[in-house]
A and B are shown apart, each in its own frame.
Chain A
Amino acid sequence: MNTKLVLTFPQIVVQEPITCSLVEIFHIKLNILRAQIDEKGGKIVLELTGTSDSIKKGIEYLKEKGVKVQPIEEGVRKDGEKCTECGACVSVCPVDALIFDRKTWKVIFDDQKCVVCGLCIDACPTTAMELLL
């Protein structure tokens, strides 16, 4: 099973190595997509790979520790009205979540592949790409 989550850490738990426990205790593979810490606490966007049982237990553990857990249903949105299908976003996307359909030359956005890195946001000249996190 593979899932993407946004974890919000209150300031009190920022110093604890909590995400490390997801690997050690629950044997979940982690891919850190974004991380940010400021005076209010921290935010990490994670991709988790493991059995559904281990991921479920891992999420419970995080919640017990006071971490807010939100599944990512939509991290980046492509506004079809604004998009001119130019493709300025295509070559900056590191995971091929934005590709050309080479028959129609429309830009296809696959939000399952998107790792919410945000590289496409300022590459878009019509502000059609929006970061929702």
Chain B
Amino acid sequence: MNGNRSLRTYDEINEKIRSKSVTVMTAEEFKAKVENEGLDKTAKEVDVITTGTFGAMCSSSVLLNFGHSDPPIKMQKIWLDDVPAYGGLAAVDVYLGATEMDESLNLFHGGAHVIEDLVRGKAIRLKAVAYGTDCYPRREIDTWISLETINQAVLLNPRNCYQNYAVATNSSDKTIYTYMGKLLPDYGNATYSSAGELSPLLNDPYYRTIGIGTRIFLGGDDGYVFWEGTQFNSKAPRSPNGIPKRPAGALAVIGDLKKMSLEFLRALTIHRYGTSLAVGIGIPVPILDLEMAKYCAVRDSEICTAVFDYSEQKRARTVLREVNYQELKSGQIEIKGKKVTTSSLSSMYKARQIADELKRRISKGSFLLQEPVQKFDLEREFKPLEIKTKEEVEK
């Protein structure tokens, strides 16, 4: 942006946070203030805004280190409350994903439930088998662990906090059950999954302040962005205001599960789909200059997404129409001439709670901003998986 004079730096904002003189607002408060008092005045007054989101984030997981038993074991196959975990990392480093299913195919119990039960402080049954080595002689173990007894438990989520998402509906004559929830026949409803104008990456569309190293609110504690999210697609189509109109950026995030809270981390069972984890994320966005202020002033009516027909069982579904979040949040949109009830899968109530809590932490000086150590690639495209022969791949 031409003439985009700096208003403040990270250091200046952090100095104000330390001295408890920072002006912090939630994204919603900031947008309302811009509407009432104008962009320039608001940008001069407000140092930082807080954003929030709370929704199903299937690409979530934990990395656990159990410590060593005596005699020790190099765990080969592992189960946590009958949910298989992955152990191909050294001896007692174990990885468990939120969508891993219970071996009894109980759809109400999966990796996400083990993660939630850990946070609840419940005892979890750990079973493992091994082939035994000279240095790790034990061949099986059957014991109980909890979040308190375990050596380390890290929430490590490869893809969270999507920048925008699709709207799902169903044109078929049958109810379908999808990761976008229950979709009633003949456009009986439509579901969306974003906090819209309160959502972190919709307030920083070109990732100027959210990048690798950014300190965030994750599941109730401090966490960090450690990489671009998988399927990161910064080249997704954008509106003239720069906001992506389709799923675009996403974040890989990390934090200490031991310090997280059930308030902001919950296991989900999505009927006939499987399990998932609802994750609460809040990200501060510094108002570094007028351009950032302009991005953060964006309203639901200016954020567009597309409605897709999820009864089409293929990768590229037909776009039925484009719609904005003001329309989606009104509770009804029109699809093919029919008035269709909408509802969200991501909790606006919780998103606000997170933005409020992060604002409180910044105000009282307990949360400092971290400038990204590296920015995300603006040229990243999301490549599909094509079915190919070995010769085609090696060509």
Contact = CB atoms under 8 A, between A and B. Distances in A.
Interface of A: 84-92, 99-100, 102, 104-106, 119, 122-123, 125-127
Contacts of B191: 88, 91
**Residue from B56, B181, B271, B346 with most neighbouring chain A CB atoms (10 Å):** B181
Contact of B347 (A85, A91, A102): A85
Interface of B: 54-56, 108, 177, 181-182, 184, 188-191, 266-272, 276, 278, 329, 331, 341-350, 352
Contacts of B341: 90-91
A86 B108 contact: no
Nearest to A90: B343
Given A91-B190, A92-B182, A127-B108, A86 B270 contact: no
B277 to A, nearest CB: 10
Which 10 pairs between the two chains have the least Cβ-Cβ distance?
A91-B343, A90-B343, A91-B189, A105-B348, A85-B349, A125-B268, A122-B271, A123-B182, A87-B343, A105-B349
A86 B352 contact: no
A122 B271 CA distance: 6
Given A92-B189, A123-B181, A125-B56, A86 B347 contact: yes
Contact of A88 (B54, B345, B350): B345
A73 B346 CA distance: 31
B348 A85 contact: yes
Contacts of A84: 54, 266, 278, 347, 349-350
Given A88-B182, A126-B268, 10 more contacts: A86-B345, A87-B348, A90-B344, A91-B343, A105-B349, A119-B182, A122-B272, A123-B271, A125-B278, A127-B269
Contacts of B268: 125-126
A88 B183 CA distance: 10
22 contacts: A84-B278, A84-B347, A85-B348, A86-B347, A87-B344, A87-B348, A88-B344, A89-B343, A90-B331, A92-B182, A92-B184, A92-B188, A92-B343, A100-B331, A100-B348, A123-B181, A123-B271, A125-B268, A125-B278, A126-B267, A126-B269, A127-B269
